[in-house]
Amino acid sequence: MKIPRLLQAILVLGGVYGGFVLVFDVILEQVIPSSLLNMYMFFVVAGTYMVFTFSEESTEQIVSPIKALVEDPSKKMLRNVVFVLLPLFFGWFTYQQIKPSFEAPLELRTIHPAPPAAVKVFGKRYNLLTLENPFRKFEKEDPEKFASLVREGGDVYVKNCQYCHGDKLDGQGPYAQGLSPVPLNFQDVGTIAQLQEGYLFWRIATGGPGLPKEATPWLSAMPVWEDFLTEDEIWKVILFLYDYTGYQPRSWEHE
């Protein structure tokens, strides 16, 4: 039996929605955020509409049962039922969307705010547009020295950073779950892999309080490391972050 066209469209939409939930929430165990799922479904609906209405025949098959429901005298009972249920459904849906809740409002937090052009730390002024890691050059010039600097950076990390950012640099340190927002996961391709070393220097040296207003609400618990580490220690730990994760800092020059 051929499935009516309108039902096909409804099944496609239901199938895609269920598919998203099944794949992400159940199989991959990484929930798909409702904000994203809504956006996805909006355009899945648009795509489905396009496929089912670009030809006259198909449009007719989609529209005719709806027209019949509204106009056909023999469908009076069904029409009455639908006309009662539909407003009730939308009423219920609207109520669900707007009813008061204790849930904190959603945040559009800027995790990587733009850095200032320059920053004052360690009693000096650094131009972040041109700032480079002074130890980076040893990667090629003196690999042994570089490896030793990375090790020193690792020591700094273990003593100071791993409690929050984790011993695998994945943001899963012992204290991580006590913080909101949780510490950054440096293994994620969207964090340090996208940034220049000067940016990391700024973020580490000035910590949460050094975030610009753009990044509000800045709930970051990141300490102001300028008060606890030396300039060299910060540069070394930056070397370690990139070395451990295997990423290269953002740069505009080819190797």
Of 123, 114, 124, whose CA–CA distance to 212 is shortest? 114
Q: Which is nearer to another protein, 8 or 79 (CB)?
A: 8
DSSP 9-35: HHHHHHHHHHHHIIIIIIIS--PPPHH
Nearest approach in angstroms of CB 12 to another protein is 9
Q: Is there binding between residue 250 and another protein (CB under 8 A)?
A: yes
Reading phi first (left if > 0) and then psi (alpha if -120 to 50, else beta), residue 122 is in left
By CB under 8 A, the count of residues binding another protein is 70
Tokens at 99, concatenated: 């009813």
CA angle 229, 124, 192 (to 5 degrees): 55
Q: Which stretch binds another protein (CB under 8 A): 71-79, 132-140, 147-155, 174-182?
A: 174-182
d(CA 219, CA 213): 12
Provide the H-helix boundaries in 54-75: 56-71
Of 58, 45, 36, whose CA–CA distance to 15 is shortest? 45
Q: Is there binding between residue 214 and another protein (CB under 8 A)?
A: yes
Contacting another protein (CB under 8 A), which of 11, 31, 69, 219?
Answer: 31
Residue with tokens 């753009």, as numbered in its chain: 214
x-or-dash string of contact with another protein, 71-110, rule CB under 8 A: --------------------------------xx-xxxxx
Q: Is there binding between residue 30 and another protein (CB under 8 A)?
A: yes
x-or-dash string of contact with another protein, 46-65, rule CB under 8 A: xxx-xx-xxxx--x------
Q: Which residues bind another protein (CB under 8 A)?
A: 24, 28, 30-36, 39-40, 43-44, 46-48, 50-51, 53-56, 59, 103-104, 106-120, 125, 128-129, 171-172, 180-182, 185, 188-191, 193-194, 196, 198-199, 212-214, 247-255
